Amino acid sequence: MKLFIDTANLDEIREIASWGVLAGVTTNPSLVAREGGDFIQRVVEICEIVRGPVSAEVLAQDVDGMVREGRLLADLSEHVVVKAPLTEAGIAATAQLASEGIKVNVTLCFQAAQALLAAKAGAAYISPFVGRVDDVSWDGNELISQIVDVYAADPEITTEVLAASIRHPMHLVQAALAGAHVATVPYAVLKKAIKHPLTDSGNTAFLKDWEKVPAEERDIATAVARWRASRG
Protein backbone atom coordinates (compact mmCIF):
# COMPACT_ATOMS: atom_id res chain seq x y z
CA MET A 1 0.00 0.00 0.00
CA LYS A 2 1.30 3.43 -0.97
CA LEU A 3 1.33 6.27 1.54
CA PHE A 4 0.15 9.78 0.73
CA ILE A 5 -0.04 12.66 3.17
CA ASP A 6 -3.27 14.61 3.50
CA THR A 7 -2.18 18.22 3.96
CA ALA A 8 -1.32 21.47 2.23
CA ASN A 9 1.42 22.36 4.72
CA LEU A 10 4.80 22.45 2.98
CA ASP A 11 6.83 21.86 6.14
CA GLU A 12 4.80 18.74 6.95
CA ILE A 13 5.25 17.45 3.41
CA ARG A 14 9.00 18.06 3.45
CA GLU A 15 9.41 16.29 6.78
CA ILE A 16 7.50 13.16 5.82
CA ALA A 17 9.14 13.12 2.37
CA SER A 18 12.52 13.07 4.14
CA TRP A 19 11.56 9.72 5.68
CA GLY A 20 11.60 8.15 2.22
CA VAL A 21 8.08 6.69 2.55
CA LEU A 22 5.95 9.32 0.82
CA ALA A 23 4.42 8.52 -2.57
CA GLY A 24 1.99 11.42 -3.00
CA VAL A 25 -0.15 14.17 -1.49
CA THR A 26 -3.87 14.90 -1.26
CA THR A 27 -5.30 18.32 -0.57
CA ASN A 28 -8.80 19.76 -0.34
CA PRO A 29 -10.27 23.28 -0.14
CA SER A 30 -10.36 23.16 3.68
CA LEU A 31 -6.68 22.21 3.96
CA VAL A 32 -5.58 24.86 1.47
CA ALA A 33 -7.67 27.58 3.16
CA ARG A 34 -6.13 26.66 6.51
CA GLU A 35 -2.64 27.35 5.16
CA GLY A 36 -3.52 30.59 3.36
CA GLY A 37 -1.52 31.97 0.47
CA ASP A 38 -1.95 31.39 -3.24
CA PHE A 39 -3.69 28.09 -4.02
CA ILE A 40 -2.10 27.55 -7.43
CA GLN A 41 1.39 28.39 -6.18
CA ARG A 42 0.89 25.97 -3.29
CA VAL A 43 -0.05 23.13 -5.65
CA VAL A 44 3.03 23.78 -7.81
CA GLU A 45 5.32 23.87 -4.77
CA ILE A 46 3.91 20.58 -3.49
CA CYS A 47 4.52 18.96 -6.88
CA GLU A 48 8.14 20.12 -6.78
CA ILE A 49 8.67 18.53 -3.36
CA VAL A 50 6.99 15.17 -3.87
CA ARG A 51 7.28 14.34 -7.58
CA GLY A 52 4.35 11.97 -7.19
CA PRO A 53 0.55 12.20 -7.49
CA VAL A 54 -0.78 15.44 -5.97
CA SER A 55 -4.56 15.70 -5.75
CA ALA A 56 -5.92 19.23 -6.29
CA GLU A 57 -9.67 19.72 -6.07
CA VAL A 58 -11.96 21.53 -8.47
CA LEU A 59 -14.37 24.02 -6.90
CA ALA A 60 -17.00 24.28 -9.63
CA GLN A 61 -20.16 22.23 -9.12
CA ASP A 62 -21.30 21.90 -12.75
CA VAL A 63 -19.84 19.58 -15.38
CA ASP A 64 -18.45 22.28 -17.68
CA GLY A 65 -16.91 24.16 -14.78
CA MET A 66 -15.29 21.04 -13.34
CA VAL A 67 -13.85 20.06 -16.71
CA ARG A 68 -12.52 23.58 -17.30
CA GLU A 69 -10.91 23.79 -13.86
CA GLY A 70 -9.63 20.22 -14.11
CA ARG A 71 -7.82 20.97 -17.35
CA LEU A 72 -6.24 24.08 -15.86
CA LEU A 73 -5.07 22.21 -12.74
CA ALA A 74 -3.71 19.28 -14.75
CA ASP A 75 -1.72 21.70 -16.89
CA LEU A 76 0.20 22.93 -13.81
CA SER A 77 2.29 19.76 -13.50
CA GLU A 78 2.44 16.20 -14.74
CA HIS A 79 1.99 15.19 -11.09
CA VAL A 80 -1.40 16.84 -10.58
CA VAL A 81 -4.38 14.53 -10.14
CA VAL A 82 -7.67 16.38 -10.44
CA LYS A 83 -9.95 15.82 -7.47
CA ALA A 84 -13.70 15.81 -8.07
CA PRO A 85 -16.65 15.10 -5.77
CA LEU A 86 -18.78 12.00 -6.17
CA THR A 87 -21.82 13.80 -7.53
CA GLU A 88 -23.64 13.39 -10.84
CA ALA A 89 -21.69 16.34 -12.22
CA GLY A 90 -18.48 14.98 -10.75
CA ILE A 91 -18.91 11.59 -12.41
CA ALA A 92 -19.69 13.18 -15.77
CA ALA A 93 -16.67 15.47 -15.47
CA THR A 94 -14.49 12.52 -14.48
CA ALA A 95 -15.51 10.66 -17.62
CA GLN A 96 -14.67 13.67 -19.79
CA LEU A 97 -11.33 14.36 -18.12
CA ALA A 98 -10.35 10.69 -18.14
CA SER A 99 -11.09 10.52 -21.88
CA GLU A 100 -8.53 13.30 -22.30
CA GLY A 101 -5.89 11.38 -20.35
CA ILE A 102 -6.26 13.45 -17.18
CA LYS A 103 -6.14 11.46 -13.93
CA VAL A 104 -9.03 12.04 -11.53
CA ASN A 105 -9.37 11.24 -7.84
CA VAL A 106 -13.10 10.94 -7.09
CA THR A 107 -13.63 11.93 -3.48
CA LEU A 108 -16.34 11.75 -0.80
CA CYS A 109 -17.20 8.11 -1.44
CA PHE A 110 -19.40 6.42 1.17
CA GLN A 111 -20.73 3.28 -0.50
CA ALA A 112 -19.50 0.63 -2.92
CA ALA A 113 -22.11 1.48 -5.55
CA GLN A 114 -20.66 4.99 -5.80
CA ALA A 115 -17.17 3.51 -6.15
CA LEU A 116 -18.32 1.29 -9.02
CA LEU A 117 -19.76 4.25 -10.90
CA ALA A 118 -16.56 6.25 -10.39
CA ALA A 119 -14.48 3.37 -11.74
CA LYS A 120 -16.73 3.00 -14.78
CA ALA A 121 -16.29 6.73 -15.43
CA GLY A 122 -12.53 6.19 -15.57
CA ALA A 123 -11.39 7.48 -12.18
CA ALA A 124 -7.71 6.88 -11.43
CA TYR A 125 -8.48 6.85 -7.68
CA ILE A 126 -11.57 6.47 -5.51
CA SER A 127 -11.45 8.00 -2.04
CA PRO A 128 -13.70 6.29 0.54
CA PHE A 129 -13.79 8.22 3.82
CA VAL A 130 -13.07 5.66 6.54
CA GLY A 131 -13.41 7.90 9.58
CA ARG A 132 -16.58 9.59 8.44
CA VAL A 133 -18.21 6.21 7.78
CA ASP A 134 -17.26 5.17 11.32
CA ASP A 135 -18.96 8.37 12.54
CA VAL A 136 -22.34 7.12 11.30
CA SER A 137 -21.96 3.76 13.08
CA TRP A 138 -20.73 1.63 10.19
CA ASP A 139 -17.29 0.11 9.65
CA GLY A 140 -15.23 2.33 7.36
CA ASN A 141 -12.74 -0.39 6.60
CA GLU A 142 -15.55 -2.80 5.70
CA LEU A 143 -16.35 -0.27 2.99
CA ILE A 144 -12.73 -0.48 1.81
CA SER A 145 -13.00 -4.28 1.66
CA GLN A 146 -16.24 -4.12 -0.32
CA ILE A 147 -14.82 -1.72 -2.89
CA VAL A 148 -11.63 -3.78 -3.25
CA ASP A 149 -13.77 -6.91 -3.87
CA VAL A 150 -16.03 -5.12 -6.36
CA TYR A 151 -13.04 -3.90 -8.33
CA ALA A 152 -11.31 -7.28 -8.23
CA ALA A 153 -14.39 -8.88 -9.80
CA ASP A 154 -14.05 -6.70 -12.91
CA PRO A 155 -10.71 -7.07 -14.72
CA GLU A 156 -11.39 -3.91 -16.73
CA ILE A 157 -11.28 -1.71 -13.63
CA THR A 158 -7.90 -0.13 -12.95
CA THR A 159 -9.08 2.43 -10.36
CA GLU A 160 -6.99 2.43 -7.18
CA VAL A 161 -8.70 2.47 -3.78
CA LEU A 162 -7.37 5.42 -1.79
CA ALA A 163 -8.41 5.19 1.86
CA ALA A 164 -9.10 8.68 3.23
CA SER A 165 -10.30 10.19 6.51
CA ILE A 166 -7.68 8.17 8.38
CA ARG A 167 -8.01 9.20 12.03
CA HIS A 168 -5.46 7.03 13.86
CA PRO A 169 -2.72 4.43 13.22
CA MET A 170 -5.13 1.48 13.46
CA HIS A 171 -7.17 2.93 10.61
CA LEU A 172 -3.95 2.86 8.60
CA VAL A 173 -3.25 -0.79 9.45
CA GLN A 174 -6.86 -1.80 8.81
CA ALA A 175 -6.86 -0.07 5.43
CA ALA A 176 -3.75 -2.01 4.43
CA LEU A 177 -5.30 -5.29 5.60
CA ALA A 178 -8.51 -4.48 3.71
CA GLY A 179 -6.52 -4.23 0.48
CA ALA A 180 -6.43 -0.46 -0.12
CA HIS A 181 -3.92 0.49 -2.78
CA VAL A 182 -3.21 3.84 -1.13
CA ALA A 183 -3.90 5.53 2.19
CA THR A 184 -3.77 9.29 2.56
CA VAL A 185 -2.86 10.12 6.12
CA PRO A 186 -2.73 13.36 8.13
CA TYR A 187 0.66 14.47 9.42
CA ALA A 188 -0.28 13.90 13.07
CA VAL A 189 -1.33 10.30 12.39
CA LEU A 190 1.90 9.54 10.52
CA LYS A 191 3.87 10.90 13.48
CA LYS A 192 1.89 8.67 15.85
CA ALA A 193 2.33 5.64 13.58
CA ILE A 194 6.11 5.75 13.93
CA LYS A 195 6.05 6.07 17.71
CA HIS A 196 5.84 3.32 20.35
CA PRO A 197 6.91 3.51 24.01
CA LEU A 198 8.72 0.17 23.80
CA THR A 199 10.75 1.46 20.85
CA ASP A 200 11.76 4.52 22.85
CA SER A 201 12.60 2.59 26.03
CA GLY A 202 14.51 -0.05 24.07
CA ASN A 203 16.58 2.57 22.28
CA THR A 204 17.33 4.29 25.59
CA ALA A 205 18.50 0.97 27.06
CA PHE A 206 20.77 0.30 24.05
CA LEU A 207 22.39 3.71 24.39
CA LYS A 208 22.87 3.27 28.12
CA ASP A 209 24.62 -0.06 27.53
CA TRP A 210 26.78 1.53 24.83
CA GLU A 211 28.11 4.01 27.38
CA LYS A 212 29.89 1.07 29.05
CA VAL A 213 32.10 0.69 25.98
CA PRO A 214 35.43 2.57 26.26
CA ALA A 215 35.08 6.12 24.97
CA GLU A 216 37.66 5.62 22.21
CA GLU A 217 35.60 2.72 20.81
CA ARG A 218 32.20 4.44 20.77
CA ASP A 219 32.61 6.45 17.58
CA ILE A 220 31.75 4.14 14.68
CA ALA A 221 33.73 6.10 12.10
CA THR A 222 36.85 6.00 14.27
CA ALA A 223 36.40 2.29 14.99
CA VAL A 224 36.00 1.47 11.29
CA ALA A 225 39.10 3.51 10.37
CA ARG A 226 41.11 1.70 13.05
CA TRP A 227 39.90 -1.68 11.81
CA ARG A 228 40.80 -0.85 8.21
CA ALA A 229 44.24 0.35 9.28
CA SER A 230 44.83 -2.91 11.15
CA ARG A 231 44.18 -4.86 7.96
CA GLY A 232 46.83 -2.93 6.07
- Residues belonging to the active site: 83
Q: What is the CA radius of gyration of the chain?
A: 22
Q: Are 47 and 54 in contact (CB under 8 A)?
A: yes
DSSP code at position 37: S
Q: 10 Å Cβ neighbour count for 172?
A: 22
CB under 8 A, 24+ apart: contacts of 11-15:
12/187, 13/46, 13/49, 13/50, 14/49, 15/187
Crossing angle between the packed helical segments 39-50 and 10-18, to the nearest 10 degrees: 10
DSSP β-ladder status, 160-163 and 125-128: parallel
Nearest alpha carbon to residue 134 among 105, 194, 106, 175: 175
Beta bridge partners of 163: 183
Under a CB-based contact definition with an 8 Å cutoff, are residues 164 and 130 in contact? Answer: yes
